[in-house]
Structure 1
Amino acid sequence: MERLIAVARGDAEPDTVITGARVFSAFTREWLDGDVALHGGKIAGIGRYDGGARIDAAGRYLVPGFIDAHVHLESAKLVPTEFARAVVPRGTTAVVCDPHEIANVAGVEGVDWLLGATEDLPLDVFVMAPSCVPASPFESPCGPFGPDEMRRVLEHPRALGVAELMNFPGVIAGDPDVLATMVASHRDGHAPGVRGRALNAYVAAGITTDHEAFTAEEALEKRRAGMWVLIREASNARNLRTLLAMVREHGPEYCAFCTDDREPDFLYREGHIDQMCRVAVGEGVAPEDVLVMASLHGARAHGLLDRGAVAPGYVADLALLDDLTEFRASLVLKDGREPEYGAGVPGALRDTMRSVPVSFDTGTSGWVRVIEVQSGQLITGAGVGRVGDADLAKIAVIERHQATGRVGLGYVRGFALHSGAFASTVAHDAHNLVVVGVDDGDMALCAARAQALGGGLVVARDGEVVGELALPIAGLLADAPLEEVAEALEALQATLRGMGVEIDAPFMTLSFLALSVIPSLKITDQGLVDVDAFALVPLALSEREAFVARYGALYEHSPWVAERAFRPGLADGDVADALRDAVYAASEAEQLALIRAHPDLGEKVGVLTEHSRSEQAGLGLDRLPQAQYERFMATNAAYRDRFGIPFVVCVREHGSPESILADADRRLGNTREQEIATALGEIAKIARLRLEDAR
């Protein structure tokens, strides 16, 4: 340190001096002129410095190395050396890794392997101690990984705290077993859709970050609660553009970038944190705001006080950018030196596959619960269908760690697979073997081939394996370069497109169907999981249960309407009338409760159903200009004061917000009895249109 101080004073010669660059100050978000002196892997100072090796950076921008604030390295399907080769040239110099993928497969031995494999990289790989192995009681990992195992991980000098607490219902409920995993003061979060008092409870548990916000409103509420919002752009959870609306309106404070789960083709073709920077600037965020989210804020979110800025005493992790639109690094320095990657893959963690052949016969006919896939999202819908429906595929999760033969079976909609099957041993979080198919024989073939490979991705059609990617290290990682792995994955995806699958990142989508802590309906080796109820649920449904599941959401937060409308054998064309009649047959108190279940129009923040969110967004009610927004709020208030109910209108019958306001002004002249009748009529119209959309 004495030598570093002497260099900073100008009394000793630095190792290296970077000259001519515009230097980014992450603390003030401005650009400085001056030399940057480096010594012993640290930044000595900014100013005028003589001596040392010179780097001419004239015309370029000197910025802190990028930091990925939350990542699962294993999702790249690359050994750590290859991961570093993929991201360091793009400007990333540090990542905060939750190694719970490899912990689920290989326990402490797996985490030790990863720590050893990241020891001498030109990339700082900090780790969090996996807190949720398994992620929930409904998943089956290789074995226990509890507080004792976490404490062992936390002894490592690169360990920062407790990894994402995925069992958010357990945290919120104060479950003693869940709270016992909070063995360090720094705690990462995982709270998809958690808001209101539930969010208060989650944050009160000492959890300081979250990367699961799906809407700008949710992210802003979490910031207001004091959480760091880690804005995610993963292969199958591309939340960046949505959440940037919050950054544009409220600034970048308490926001950082993360990739979470990014597949090798995404890394290879588009990049890492640099890609997020390009997108953010393209979406209208100032480059200076982008850079702090890509560097300083990621460090601050995890208590890393010696990196993320170009400033005296900071680690000399730096990138020279040619411009502030593409964010491509022409030079990256790690600890003040150009990167050296080394070679080789540590041994062990092979032969982890212990699955056994199973039957894919679900033993069901008639109505069943259906997992509904949403392209580009980790959340799924909870639908219904009939066995044999053309749009359904079968799904199986086969336990692969203990050779139990346990298998969870179900149905999935959204892949549009018309032939064959595909499988993966990457299946968050327990990483059992997951298979989707429309032919039981091809499903069995995929499962057998994945076992023979020691893990991997497999596609089969007409009794033949037509594509595969071996993942022999823990069934998660390939022993191959990035380019080779990325191109193999792209070839598999092209094969699936020929089999009807058009959604983005189908293997990543497949892998998250087994994660029982992200809503709504998931599947594990133990069976179907209703994540919202946090319970296992049966696959088969009665006709009545299927009716309520199909139509219960048409009337806002009021499934009782469908329950009362049900009649055995009710024709599809008679459903809308039956639902309407059930409402009109209800008591006045029930009718008023139904009306009051509807949201005020134009509310920027609030708990809306997906139906309401989509309908209001369709007319721009979620992005009203301030003056018009204030008129809506005043109208809502006047209407509530006069009638004691929210103003309900079938938005899709209006062509503009002004048309709705005019209708509200007219209806304010009604009596309360007239307005209750009008509101019920509008609700019936809304439900009828929603029903038509669903067909």
Structure 2
Amino acid sequence: MDSSLAVSIDSLNSVAMGEKKANLVLTNCNLLSVYTREIIPNTQIAIINDRIAYVGPDANHTVGPKTKIIDIKNKFVSPGFADPHLHIDQFVLPSEFAKQALLCGVTSLFSDPIDIVSVAGNKGFQEFLKLGENLPIRIFQTVPGGLPVDAKFSNSKSLTLSQEKSAIKHPHVIGMGEVFSWTKVTSREPKTMKSLSTMLEHDCIINGHTAGASGKKLNAYISSGILSCHEPINFEQVLERLRLGMWVMIREGSIRRDLKEIIPHILSHGTYRNRLMFCSDGLDPLDISKFGHIDYCIRESIELGLEPIDAVTMASKNNFDYYNMGKDLGGIAPGKLADILVFDNLTSFKPKHVFVGGKLVVSNGSFVSRIRRNVISQWIKKTVKLKKFSKNDFLIKSKKDHVKANTIFMLNEIITKLGESELSCKDGFVSASIDKDIWKIAAFDRIHGTSQHSIGFLENFGAEIGAFASTWSFHENDLIVLGSNDSDMAIASNHLIKNQGGLVVVKSGKILASLPLQFAGIVSTDSFETVSSNFEQINNSIVDLGCKFARPHLIPLFLPFLALPSVRILSGGIVDVKKRSYISPIN
């Protein structure tokens, strides 16, 4: 647990005056000052316990016989970076993600564990909070602000109002995550408004999601106390939100990459940078290995013309100003927690050394801190509550020789539209058609232990596989399986029941690739390296066999996501999102 400034002021004051000696002094630093927008050479930094006591040209008065002195050798020093909005309840455990983030200089993560809650409710939320404790990185959690997405169709678990109120008493729960169903706000849906009021009454931050909102609707949303958004995809949307007093998180992550559409216009417009941040919204293992994290945002922004000091400020100070944490974090100054990065230059921004709370966690580009993995409760590894499947579980009956089928037409991995195709029937059942690129798609409730399920047809997938299944889907977490034949669909589904979660690809009865996700069916308990390798094999096995899309893992992830157009499938049925009505698989 961090020491509070309140209990640290005597020791900090004494070290600053030279009456008490520092634990650690960094000398010969080129300090990137996020407070004055300058680089200050020949700076020395004195640290006592986890906080900075002195910053200036000469810290000799803070040095005693037990003080450790590190000569930075005129390298560049900055505050630690933050990701102000991401979902770390994905792919790997927080302990594994922490290592990768720290190697990129990210010392603070603001997590929105919406999918853990959608699977396991408040009990899962509490379990996930424990996994974020006692790590050499700062993880601040938020209460999910978007569940259920649409109560008419959604099957996800959520927190009650009393559970939300109790959650924000936790020292690392700092507010509410993205409230992405903004129509609930503009229509003043009672539970949503009560949740917002509770957060505001307790001085909590509420994160926003305003995709598609503008004008009076955006005004109504902001006036309800929601002051940030990570959804702008162009400068016009950024400017509208800034003009209305919002903070904007420019997203550069695995789902969307928006920097190139925004940064050049910010520069040409001369926009103030003080309410701009970078965020990832979540990173898959391959992206963080290939590109990096917030350090990549800095490199890309500098390449687009942003000054390095401005990019660092957006990656550090602005985040903590937004979250009202500026007295503790965001810069290198007396009284601040000693989260400090050391760089060889201002081009790569890959940290040579990383200090968190004055402790060295990355040295010479290698992770050197010890991480004790928390014990995981067994119950959260048993969330796939389904009985063994047979090929008969995927049949759609019809007495006709041919039927007109309504299809979920994939425009890309995420966006769909309603399609239509004529399909033949055999022995009283409707057949998929590989020739027409029509696949069966099914969703099964795997959380509540019911037999609720739906089966339909998906179009424009293209891979020569038998089945692709996943227990991880945004905010619903049904078991989703698509396939060209019923036998392989059953094999894929049964594999996930046995593993208690994951993604799997099957062809001709054989498993081509598998990514186990044992924790709530959405997070792996394996190492980052193992997960990264398995994840790569999942995508490659599908793409290499002819899939029309580069990131096929996103298809089952988004197919039940009710906040996007236009046709979705959940265990309760196929949904026309705009009309808010169910669609029959066959006419």
Q: Would you call these one fold, judging by a TM-score over 0.5?
A: yes
Instruction: Tell me which protein shows more helix as a share of its residues.
Output: 1
Question: Which residue number corresponds to residue 368 of structure 1?
Answer: 406
Amino acid at match of 1:220: L
Residue aligning to 2:425: none
Please give the per-residue CA displacement for 1:581-622, whole angstroms capped at 9, x wherever unaligned: xxxxxxxxxxxxxxxxxxxxxxxxxxxxxxxxxxxxxxxxxx
SS of the equivalent of 1:366 reads strand
Instruction: Give the counterpart letter for 1:88 in structure 2.
Output: L
Aligned partner of 2:348 in structure 1 is: 326
1:464 maps onto 2:510 in alignment: yes
Q: 2:573, 2:218 → 1: CA distance?
A: 29
Please name the residue that 2:490 is paired with: 444
Q: Which runs of 5+ in 1 are unaligned?
A: 543-695
Match of 1:192 among 203, 208, 211: 211
Deviation at 1:382, TM superposition (A): 2.0
Q: 1:1-20 counterparts in 2 under 5 A?
A: 1-20=9-28
C-alpha displacement of 1:463 = 2.1
Deviation for aligned residue 1:317? 0.6
- 2 CA distance for matches of 1:454 and 1:541? 32
Quickly say closer, same or farther: Cα 1:485–1:89, change in 2 above 3 A: same
Once the two structures are superposed, residues 28-69 of structure 1 have per-residue CA deviations (whole angstroms, 9 ceiling, x without a partner) of: 322112112212211222211011321211232111111010
Q: Does the residue aligned with 1:220 lie in a helix, a strand or coil? A: helix
> How far apart, in 2, do the equivalents of 1:151 and 1:506 lie?
38
Measure how far apart 1:337 and its partner are: 0.8
Q: Give the equivalent residue in structure 1 for 2:40.
A: 32
State the structure with more CA Rg: 1
Output the CA distance in 2 between the equivalents of 1:43 and 1:231.
30
What displacement does 1:404 show? Answer: 1.6
Residue from 275, 293, 296 that aligns with 2:314: 293
Give the C-alpha shift of residue 272 in structure 1.
Answer: 1.6
CA-to-aligned-CA distance 1:189-221 (integer Å, 9 cap, x gap): 122121111111111111111112223222221
SS at match of 1:501: coil
Name the CA distance, whole Å, in 2 between partners of 1:140 and 1:462.
34
SS in 2 for 1:397: strand
2:91 is equivalent to residue 46 of structure 1: no
| CA 1:59–1:512: 2 relative to 1, 3 Å | farther
What letter corresponds to residue 382 of structure 1 in structure 2? K
The CA distance in 2 between the partners of 1:218 and 1:43, in whole Å, is 39
Within the candidate set 78, 85, 110, 1:70 is matched to 85
Query: How much does 1:107 deviate?
Result: 1.3
Name the counterpart of 1:514: 560
* Contact 2:408-2:568 at 8 Å conserved across structures: no
Q: 1:459 to 1:369 in 2, by over 3 A?
A: closer
Residue 219 of structure 1 corresponds to: 238
Residue 94 of structure 1: CA displacement?
0.6
Q: 1:341 to 1:411 in 2, by over 3 A?
A: farther
481-490 or 20-29, larger mean C-alpha shift? 20-29
Structure 2 equivalent of residue 548 of structure 1? none
Alignment of 1:353-502 (within 5 A): 353-356=384-387, 357=389, 359-361=393-395, 365-366=403-404, 368-374=406-412, 378=414, 380-387=415-422, 388=433, 390-501=436-547
Task: Look up the equivalent residue of 1:64 and give its one-letter code.
Answer: P
CA distance change for structure 1 residues 275 and 138 in 2, over 3 Å: closer, same or farther?
farther
User: 2:583 pairs with 538, 546, 556, which one?
Assistant: 538
What CA deviation, in whole Å up to 9, does each residue of 1:435-476 have, x standing for no partner?
A: 222323222221111111010111111122221111111111
1:158 aligned partner: 172
8 Å contact kept, 1:220–1:246:
no
Alignment of 1:656-695 (within 5 A): none
Distance 2:455 2:215 in 1: 35
Shift of 1:523: 2.4
Structure 1 letter corresponding to 2:129: L
Q: CA deviation at 1:12?
A: 3.0
Pair 236,502 (structure 1): closer, same or farther in 2 beyond 3 Å: farther
> Whole-Å Cα distance in 2 between the matches of residues 137 and 238 of structure 1?
30
Distance 1:472 1:98 in 2: 20
Q: Which residue of 1 aligns with 2:428?
A: none
Q: Determine if the alignment matches structure 1 residue 343 to structure 2 residue 372.
A: yes
Instruction: Return the alpha-carbon distance in structure 1 between the equivalents of residues 459 and 222 of structure 2.
Output: 35
Match of 2:53, SS state, is: strand
**1:108/1:149 contact within 8 Å kept:** yes
Q: Does 1:238 align with 2:257?
A: yes
> Distance in 2 between the 1:37 and 1:267 partners?
33
* Equivalent residues of 2:465, 2:505 under 8 A apart: no
Structure 2 contact 89–113 (Cα < 8 Å) conserved: yes
Deviation at 1:500, TM superposition (A): 1.3
CA distance in 1, matches of 2:314, 2:117: 29
Output the aligned Cα RMSD: 2.2
Shift of the 540–66 alpha-carbon distance from structure 1 to 2, 3 Å rule, reads: same
The one-letter code matched in structure 2 to 1:516 is L
Contact 2:264/2:305 (CA < 8 Å) preserved in 1? no
Listed one character per residue, the Cα deviations across residues 228-258 of structure 1 (whole Å, up to 9, x for unaligned) are: 1111222122223223244333243311111
Deviation at 1:413, TM superposition (A): 4.2
Relative to structure 1, is the Cα distance of residues 201 and 457 closer, same or farther in structure 2, using a 3 angstrom cutoff? same
Q: Which amino acid aligns with 1:385?
A: E
Q: Is the 8 A contact 1:133 1:146 kept in 2?
A: no
Q: 1:100 aligns with which of 114, 120, 125?
A: 114
CA–CA distance in structure 2, aligned partners of residues 270 and 70 of structure 1:
18
Between the two proteins, what is the percent identity of the paired residues? Answer: 28
Hey, which of these two has a bigger chunk of strand by percent? 2
Secondary structure of the structure 1 residue equivalent to 2:490: helix
Q: 1:131 aligns with which of 125, 139, 145?
A: 145
Contact 2:405 2:457 in 1 (8 A): no
Q: State the distance in 2 between where 1:283 and 1:494 align.
A: 32
Look up the SS of the partner of 2:164 in the other structure.
helix
Letter in 1 for 2:515: L
Could you tell me whether the CA contact under 8 Å between 1:355 and 1:402 is conserved in 2? Answer: no
Return the alpha-carbon distance in structure 2 between the equivalents of residues 410 and 287 of structure 1: 51
Kindly indicate whether the alpha-carbon contact (under 8 Å) linking 2:119 and 2:476 is maintained by their aligned counterparts in 1: yes
Instruction: Select which of 336, 360, 381 maps to 1:314.
Output: 336
Q: State the match for 1:678 in structure 2.
A: none
Structure-2 change in CA distance of 1:220 and 1:362 (3 Å) = farther
Aligned partner of residue 169 in structure 1, secondary structure = helix
Write the distance in 1 (CA, Å) between the matches of 2:439 and 2:36: 54
Query: Of the candidates 21, 29, 38, which is equivalent to residue 21 of structure 1?
Result: 29
Shift of 1:495: 0.9
> What's the counterpart of residue 659 of structure 1?
none
Q: State the alpha-carbon separation in 1 of the partners of residues 570 and 68 from structure 2.
A: 57
Closer, same or farther in 2 for the Cα pair 1:265/1:139, shift >3 Å?
Answer: farther
Residues 253, 494 of structure 1: alpha-carbon distance in 2 compared, 3 angstrom cutoff: same
TM alignment of 1:562-577, pairs within 5 A: none
User: 1:105-163: per-residue Cα shift (whole Å, max 9, x none)?
Assistant: 11112111111111110111101112333232155456442211211211101111122
Whether the 8 Å CA contact 1:417–1:438 is kept in 2: the answer is no
Residues 58 and 453 of structure 1: CA distance in aligned 2, closer, same or farther (over 3 Å):
same
Match of 1:167 in 2: 181
Deviations 1:641-686 (A, max 9, x none): xxxxxxxxxxxxxxxxxxxxxxxxxxxxxxxxxxxxxxxxxxxxxx
